[in-house]
Structure 1
Amino acid sequence: FNTVNDWARPFRMPDFFFIAGLFLMRRIDRPWRSYLDTKVVHFAYFYVLWMSVWYIVRIPVYIDRMGLDNALLLYPMSFIEPLGSLWFIYMLAVFFVVAKLTRPLPVWLVWLAGAVLHSLQIHTGWRVIDEFSSRFVFFYSGFVFAPYAFSIASFFTRQKVATIVAGLVIWAVIEGWLVFGGHSLLPGVSLALGFAGTGAIITAGILLSKTRLGEPVRYLGEHSLVVFLSYFLFSVAARIIMLKTGLVSDPVVLITLATLAGITGPVIADLITRNTPLFFLYRRPYAFRLGGMRQAAPVRRQGKTTPAAGGN
């Protein structure tokens, strides 16, 4: 798993931010009030909520590792320095604000600045600064190159499965050669691998859409925020249960099952809580929307609940 993780590192987060930026064109010219509600307050709400959950669950560990005073200080600091694996939700809000603020500037200038920041490989020790420098170019590229990305995706949907598989195999081999050959962090190479990997992930999604896995993958894609929010909770819980009970001892099986729990657990929890007082775990209540915005709580239509977890 460490080998796979190293191999995927150049594109694992770039593809997430690129895809997040793909649909920005439809929203970036909205009035600031509407934009802030759906692209900043939305993610801020879920970050604060699940950061608080994570902090409460982990507080005994924090006290043991850093002492009571530092553990108590960690919570307010988490509003400045993102806590744990929720940092990407924090950064999404930052990226959306920066994209809106730089809207009057030439897109090539903003993109070039992002590419330079990425290539500099800045490491200050502050996650917001470091991750912004490393990831913003991919988010902004999703916004800038969206028409081309959709055209390429449309092209691949018309290709034969064998052609797509062959292309993915070639990409995987080149990716591995550059990563394990120690070239993946070179200026320009890191950027290229991020974009190549993003393209490969999109292509793999197209390939899966041609199989019976297409519908489950589509569902997970539509509810990706739900999965990302509480993946850590279900994954860690599953790992602890398996270790404490001795049900699983093989590390590969353990990690695989914990990963599956981290993916399926949030989806099931969302379905269970959707029409209960706990709906706020995955759906932003009206009270946490800027005034005048559309209701975000579950809305019943013909006996069904309308999902409202995603930003508009």
Structure 2
Amino acid sequence: MAPSGTIASGGLPNATAAARVDWVDYAKGICIVMVVMMHSVLGVELAAGETGFMHVLVAFAKPFRMPDFFLISGLFLPLVIDRDWRTYLDRKVVHFAYFYVVWVTIQFGFKAPAFAAETSWRDAGVLYLESFIEPFGTLWFIYLLPFFFVVTKMTRRIPPLAIWIVAAALESARIATGWTAIDEFCARFVYFYSGYLFAPYVFALADRACNHPAPALMALAAWALINASVVTLGASEWKIVSLVLGFAGACAIITMGTLLARARRFNVLRFFGEHSIVIYLAFFLPMAATRTLLLHTGIITDIGAVSLIVTIVGLLGSLAIWQGALRLRADFLFERPDALWIAPKKAAAVLQAAE
């Protein structure tokens, strides 16, 4: 049973296919769960001053959590990179910039009183303006994506292998300027560019896992053991090792997503993946509220259990906010208004999975 989605020559989904690629949604679902888990667990542990059993899962996922997310983000880029600049910028820059502005304003609105209490409202206002230079809170991912899209299109005339080597070298260089946009660009671009450059091979890997599930499961077991061992030994941050673990983990999540799509199991992960941008934008509010409630009331004393609950509420609460926004006709929170499109909307309809 193959995952849904029409596969064209070269191993990429056909640009005219309306169907989504199921395994991509499963993989994105796994990624967004890991992202919410990381923020939830580390936030709880920082506030409580101790760690719980969930810390082990967060540590295990650290080498590949964001590499996989960025690799998948570049996966469908070959289908749209030849578009004219106006359409391309609309889909890949204005799109993410709009949501960043909306949600950084919302996040800052909740945190501004605390900032003002520590300093002043004037300083809080300056901090808000700085958030357009230094990515704010959990939103650095969508802040960074437009830079990746633009750089990839602008460098198309440069030999891809040269770009990949430079990107890999930047990841290993451990650039630390203190500016998130620069540091994370250097650390993550190699994964995004690899998704773009090696997309046919990624889809071939998914096809192979789908057609040979038993060997794929054995490979996953071996990967999990090796990844856990390297993390336990404290070697996951070593140069070259981190790059290898990032790609190995990305391949593992892709394989896992393919096997889940093949078996039609855990459809909730696919749903999370289909709505990963919704979850990413809105999870901070239910996460922070639940963390504060549980830690201040002391209803549950086990830090691991608190972390797990905060993670679940963060995931489900973000979807509840989305549904509430739709019912209250506050669609602008999750859908870009027509007036802010700089290219025809219909041109994007054929590539839902790529957006």
Residue aligning to 1:27: 80
Give the residue type in structure 2 aligned to 1:9: K
Corresponding position of 2:267: 215
**1:38-187 equivalences in 2 (<5 Å):** 38-160=91-213, 162-187=214-239
Q: Closer, same or farther in 2 for the Cα pair 1:285/1:311, shift >3 Å?
A: farther
**Structure 1 pair 295–74 and aligned structure 2 pair: CA distance change class (3 A):** farther
Q: Decide which moves more: 127-136 or 242-251.
A: 242-251
Report the Cα distance in structure 1 between the residues aligned to 2:199 and 2:352, rounded to whole angstroms: 23
Residue in structure 2 matching 1:285, options 320, 332, 337: 337
The alignment's TM-score, normalised by the length of structure 2, stands at 0.79
Structure 2 unmatched runs, 5+: 1-53
Equivalent position SS for 2:103: helix
Provide closer, same or farther for how the CA distance between residues 245 and 309 of structure 1 changes in structure 2, counting only shifts above 3 A: farther
Read off the aligned partner of 1:113 and give its amino acid letter. V
Which of 301, 306, 328 matches 1:249? 301
Question: Cα distance, 1:11 vs. partner?
Answer: 0.8
What corresponds to 1:302 in structure 2? none
- Distance in 1 between residues matched to 2:272 and 2:346, nearest whole Å: 24
Q: Which moved more, 1:54-63 or 1:140-149?
A: 54-63
Match for 1:191 among 223, 226, 243? 243
Give per-residue Cα distances to partners, 1:43-97, cap 9 Å, x unaligned.
0000111111000001122224454443221111000110011001100111111
User: What secondary structure sits across from 2:132 in the alignment?
Assistant: coil
**1 or 2 for the larger relative contact order (CA 8 Å, sep ≥6)?**
2
Q: Distance in 1 between matches of 2:352 and 2:257?
A: 22
Deviation for aligned residue 1:173 = 1.5
Equivalent residues of 1:38, 1:311 under 8 A apart = no
Deviates more, 1:181-190 or 1:77-86: 181-190
CA distance in 2, matches of 1:72, 1:276: 29
Q: Aligned partners of 2:62 and 2:151: how far apart in 1?
A: 25
Matched, 1:11 2:69: no
Identity of aligned residues (%): 43
Cα 1:197–1:66 change in 2 (3 A) is farther
8 Å contact from structure 1 (residues 11, 195) kept in 2: yes
* Number of residue pairs matched by the alignment: 301
Q: Compared with structure 1, are the counterparts of its residues 65 and 167 closer, same or farther at alpha carbon in structure 2 (3 Å cutoff)?
A: farther
**How far has the Cα of 1:197 moved from its partner?**
0.6
Q: Which runs of 5+ in 1 are unaligned?
A: 297-305
Q: Distance in 1 between matches of 2:157 and 2:271?
A: 36
| Aligned-residue RMSD, C-alpha | 2.2
Letter in 2 for 1:273: A
